[in-house]
Structure 1
Amino acid sequence: MTWNPFSKDKDKEAAQKSVDSELNEPEEQEGKGRPTPKRKVAEERNLHPIVPKNRKADRKAAKDRIRKKEDEQYEAMRTGDVAHMPRVERDPAHIYARDYVDARFNLAEYFIPVIFGVMIFGIIIALKWPALYTPILMLSYVYMIAAIIDIAVMWFKLKKKLIEKFGEKSVGKGSRMGSYAWGRALQLRRWRVPKPTSKKRGNWPK
């Protein structure tokens, strides 16, 4: 091998020319006459931010969507539109349960008005007619006990029918069917939501 004192300079010059030529070369074409994007540009193009730019606006928009959906579902329950009610209200077992509760006369339906009336008028009676306060209070207790017994009988019969029609899972622990039926029976019929499918009592579900 012959040593050339100028070889290093020539190598550097050749390398520099190679770099310059690469920089001056046109970008490769990417289908349909478009230039192939550089790696950095391609990565930035495919990058999707995990966190939204404006968190406050995003949270507000999410709340507005939830509120709108809840309003639509409540309106559906108020008007009896089963197709747009919440999922639990569209369940056949729940539909049967509320139709059963709506069909019967429930003593517990007047529980809240009676208790509220006793509290208000009890004070007046205690001040003007103290002797009547104790009998009225006793009558209110009798009504409460009778209402509890009536609602327990209702649930016993309803539970049996639900098992026959929909199986044990319809009254299982996760279904909360008992609290659903009891809660509806405690409401005045005209104030129930979803509203009763029949205007009158006695129309029992099949």
Structure 2
Amino acid sequence: MFRSRSKEERPAPTAKVAPDLSKQPRDPQAPKGRPTPKRSVAQTQRRSVVASTGNRKEDAKRARERRRADLARQREALASGDERYLPARDKGPVRRFVRDFVDSRFCIAEFFLPLAVVILVLSMIRMSNIQNIALLLWLGVIIMIVIDSIGIWLRLKKQLAERFPNEPKRGAVAYGLMRTLQMRRLRLPKPQVKRGERP
């Protein structure tokens, strides 16, 4: 009856709950669950990183020289087909097969630019007959390119499924179709097979 109210109103002590570590954001500097590289690989990576000299101009000069050397190696690889220095989009056995598949065939799409120039010149002549011929040529070229591209797409997809059943093939067919639009002598990486040769 005469108990103090402060004792009654004092809240009961709550048990401390351990923080849920799964809901905390992961430290961006923490490892991502990949295996630790071997010592030889780690040493190679460390050697490849050039130590800073402390001079910003000197560091920038060295970075430019490294970029220049990398680009020169990449240009040589695009000309020779050396897989080690090719850009990432051209690397791998799937991409190499796609290039060889396209380069071993005669593609109508590779003549699109020269034909487009000829048709454009014909369409500029102020004669209705020639302009009609140019329009028909334009439609004919587009229809032939579409039909040829569909044929290449189907054959290439089938060949990739047979030869590389377990390899990732995403974007490989589109890569091949884009290559058909380039003239053979201007293609990079340079063609490594002759026309008619089996890839």
AA aligned to 2:116 is I
User: Higher mean Cα deviation, 103-112 or 80-89?
Assistant: 80-89
Deviations 1:112-165 (A, max 9, x none): 111122223421x2x2x2321022112111111210220121011111111221
Letter in 2 for 1:202: G
1:187 and 1:149 map into 2 onto residues whose CA distance is 17
**Residues 145 and 56 of structure 1: CA distance in aligned 2, closer, same or farther (over 3 Å):** farther
* Deviations 1:83-128 (CA, angstroms, capped at 9, x unpaired): 44334434111111110001111111101111122223421x2x2x
Q: Please, which runs of 5 or more residues in structure 2 have no aligned partner?
A: 1-50
Aligned CA RMSD, in angstroms, stands at 2.3
Mapped to 1, the partners of 2:64 and 2:123 lie a distance apart of 45
Cα distance in structure 2, aligned partners of 1:60 and 1:165: 46
CA displacement, residues 7-45 of structure 1 (integer Å, 9 cap, x when unaligned):
xxxxxxxxxxxxxxxxxxxxxxxxxxxxxxxxxxxxxxx
Q: Contact between 1:163 and 1:170, CA under 8 Å: does it hold in 2?
A: no
In structure 2, the partner of 1:189 is 184
| Distance in 1 of aligned mates of 2:118 and 2:147 | 21
What is the distance in 2 between the residues matched to 1:152 and 1:76?
A: 30
Q: Which residue of 1 aligns with 2:35?
A: none
Which runs of structure 2 are paired with 1:113-152 in the superposition (5 Å)?
113-123=114-124, 125=125, 127=126, 129-152=127-150
Residue 52 of structure 1: CA displacement?
6.9
TM-score, length-scaled by structure 2: 0.65
Residue in 2 that maps onto 1:203 = 197
Cα distance in 1 for residues equivalent to 2:116 and 2:166: 35
Is contact 2:110-2:180 (8 Å) kept? yes
Q: CA deviation at 1:168?
A: 6.0
**Residue in 2 that maps onto 1:75:** 76
CA distance in 2, matches of 1:133, 1:83: 50
**Bigger shift: 80-89 or 186-195?**
80-89
Q: Which amino acid aligns with 1:135?
A: I
Aligned residues: 149
Aligned to 2:188, the other structure's residue is in SS state coil
**Structure 2 counterpart of 1:108:** 109
TM-score, structure 1 length as denominator?
0.63
Following superposition, the deviation at residue 197 of structure 1 comes to 1.2
User: Which structure's relative contact order is higher, taking Cα pairs within 8 Å and 6+ residues apart?
Assistant: 2
Aligned in 2, Cα 1:139/1:177: closer, same or farther, shift over 3 Å? same
Who wins on radius of gyration, i.e. which is larger? Answer: 1
**Structure holding more helix per residue:** 1
Structure 1: stretches of 5+ with no match in the other structure:
1-49
* Amino acid in structure 2 at the alignment position of 1:178: V
Q: CA deviation at 1:179?
A: 2.4
- Distance in structure 1 (CA, Å) of the matches to 2:52 and 2:66: 19
What is the distance in 2 between the residues matched to 1:164 and 1:177? Answer: 14
Assess, with a 3 A threshold, how the Cα gap between structure 1 residues 159 and 170 changes in structure 2: closer, same or farther: farther
